[in-house]
Amino acid sequence: MARFVHLAPAAAARRAARSGLRANPGRDGQRGVYCFPVLPSYTLTHQWLRELSRWKDARGMAAVHLLLPDGEPVLVGHYGGPGRRTTAAGAVGAVAALEDPRGWEVFVPRAVTAREVRAVRTVRRGVGWRYLPGAHGRPPCTCAGCPVRGAYGSRRLLERRPHPADGPWPPPRVLLERIDRASADGDAAALCAALEGFGHRRRGPVDRLLPLAGHPDPRVRSALVWAVCGWSTPGTGDLISLLAADPDPGVREAAGDVREIRGDR
């Protein structure tokens, strides 16, 4: 049997002991569970902790220990490259033989059952790398995709090192004007671009965007899902629930992922 560790927010880790780990979108368009082999080094085994804490839940993470059959099909590879198909035992051997296993990951292309969860343990904070392996000493990237909104020191970082490709997003009034113009012109690409601007806000006009839930192009409806993902505006949950019943499977999957991120039931 091969032993792995999956890092998750403490609340989700406790649920895993009762009901296992559900499959989420991952490598090569498949759904499954990310994990890492248990190595003699505690730091290497839990190397993803600091990076995942930035995105998942800075209040507390836990390690879910998994025990999988040696012949279980998995994907193994560096996060920046393609995954190689092998077995669970083969993945453990491949990662253990690496001179530098930082940034490597194992992907189990299915859900993990509760019987395969062997233990849930607390982890020490401050373990592992942030941003990318070997990032210490490099100037941090300040593009729109890298800083975590609201993270400690993020505002000062953006003020000190503004990214040339980024700038403040237009106000809602301007974005709504672009949506009205794109809707009149039938320009789906312009609609998606305007919705991306709303995705960088914490609140927004749900009632004004609600008609887009019936747009004939599924790309627009999918963009609408991600545009309202982080909103706290009343009615946002109802809009996502409406899109979760969309006839297009891609839109339904996006809405399901967003409901999981938000913790909606």
Closest residue by Cα to residue 125 from 57, 70, 179, 75: 57
pLDDT, tens digit, for every residue of 184-203? Answer: 999 999 999 899 889 888 89
Q: What is the pLDDT of residue 82?
A: 86
* Residue 82 token pair: 């393609």
Q: How high does pLDDT run on average in the chain?
A: 88
In whole angstroms, give the CA distance from residue 85 to residue 72. Answer: 11
H/E segment holding residue 95: helix 88-96
Decide: 164 and 192 in contact? Cβ < 8 Å. Answer: no
Per-residue pLDDT, averaged over 53-81, amounts to 87
Q: Give the three-state DSSP class for 160.
A: helix
* Residue 164 token pair: 């040339």
pLDDT, tens digit, for every residue of 75-99? Answer: 999 998 889 999 999 999 999 999 9
- Please indicate whether residue 104 or residue 12 has the higher confidence score (pLDDT): 104
pLDDT, tens digit, for every residue of 8-39? Answer: 988 888 889 889 999 988 887 789 999 999 99
Per-residue pLDDT, averaged over 218-243, amounts to 92
| Residue 82, C-beta contacts closer than 8 angstroms, at least 6 positions apart | 28
**At 144, is the pLDDT very low, low, confident or very high (cuts 50, 70, 90)?**
low
pTM: predicted TM-score of the whole model, two decimal places: 0.58
**At 262, is the pLDDT very low, low, confident or very high (cuts 50, 70, 90)?**
confident
Decide: 18 and 114 in contact? Cβ < 8 Å. Answer: yes
Q: What is the pLDDT of residue 149?
A: 59
- Taking CA atoms, 224 is separated from 28, 87, 121, 132, in Å, by 24, 39, 38, 30
Above 80 in pLDDT, residue 55? no
Partners of 104 in beta bridges: 78
In whole angstroms, give the CA distance from residue 88 to residue 67. Answer: 10
